[in-house]
Amino acid sequence: MNLSTRTEWEIENVLESYEVNDDMKKFNILHIYDTGEKCREDHSGFLDSRHFDLWAFNSETNEKRFLGRHDGIISYDGISVFIIRVFIDGSLFVRTTKMVSIDFFTQEIVLKEV
């Protein structure tokens, strides 16, 4: 059977298998869900952007954490990205080459290497 058609390999099933940990500090996967909300409409964030819900995942501990609603992600450390994919539901999957952590910076997230 082709792995791409097997239900257990669908991304929703894989990401749902992670345990929620609201204290998780480091991660190597980001999953970004477009909320459809335009920043311009509520005068928050970058006016040419839309808000997104951000989940972080740690593939070593099998944990995940909801990081909130934001409008941008940046890194001053030059974080290396290993994989970027847009899933069929329009969500964005980003996997970094090393563990990273975050600093909340208003609506924007700042990533740094751990």
pLDDT in tens, the chain (114 residues): 344 444 445 766 778 899 999 999 999 999 999 998 887 777 677 777 888 999 999 999 999 999 988 888 988 888 899 999 998 888 999 999 999 998 766 677 888 888
DSSP-assigned beta bridge partners for residue 108: 72, 105
Q: Extract the tokens encoding 99.
A: 């563990």
Q: Say what the pLDDT of residue 11 is.
A: 66
Q: Say what the pLDDT of residue 75 is.
A: 87
Residue length, the chain? 114
